[in-house]
Amino acid sequence: MLGASNVFLETIKRGDDDKCESYDSETTVILRLYEAYGGHARVALKIGSQLSVQKAFVTNLLEDELDELNILRADDTEHTAAILTLEFRGFEVKTVKLVIGSKESAHSAPQE
């Protein structure tokens, strides 16, 4: 996480609606972040290229999608990382849902 020392990543977990027994179901990762000191903040959250992030959403605490986030792609030497920009008010908690695709589908997608 880049940009603000007053924002903390508190939780990383699988999405509540994921069906772990099915390989073709959507895989989601939930991130919960918060601003700790009562100030404003803007952070860039960089997700490594090991995860193929297809979509990202801000959700409520029940993981209902509220807004889709814009994903910026940063080219590393071999892979592409995803970067999400988030803005916080004082003591605000944000829940972010990442929709993860398989690495095979990301690499086998048609090139234009």
DSSP annotation string for 4-67 = -TTEEEEEEEE-TT--TT-TTS-EEEEEEEEE-SS--EEEEEEEPTTSEEEEEEEE-TT--EEE
The CATH code of the domain at 7-17+25-102 is 2.60.40.1180
pLDDT tens sequence across 11-39: 999 998 887 665 566 799 999 999 999 99
Q: Which amino acid is at 87?
A: E
Cα 65–83–45 angle (5° rounding)? 80
Q: What is the pLDDT of residue 68?
A: 97
Going from N- to C-terminal start, the domains of the chain cover 7-17+25-102
State the pTM of this model.
0.80
pLDDT tens digits, one per residue of 57-69: 999 999 999 999 9
Phi and psi of 37, rounded to 5°? -120, 5
Residue 86 above 80 pLDDT? yes
Asked whether 53 and 99 are in contact (CB, 8 A), the reply is: yes
Which one, of 97, 104, 110, lies nearest residue 52 by Cα?
104
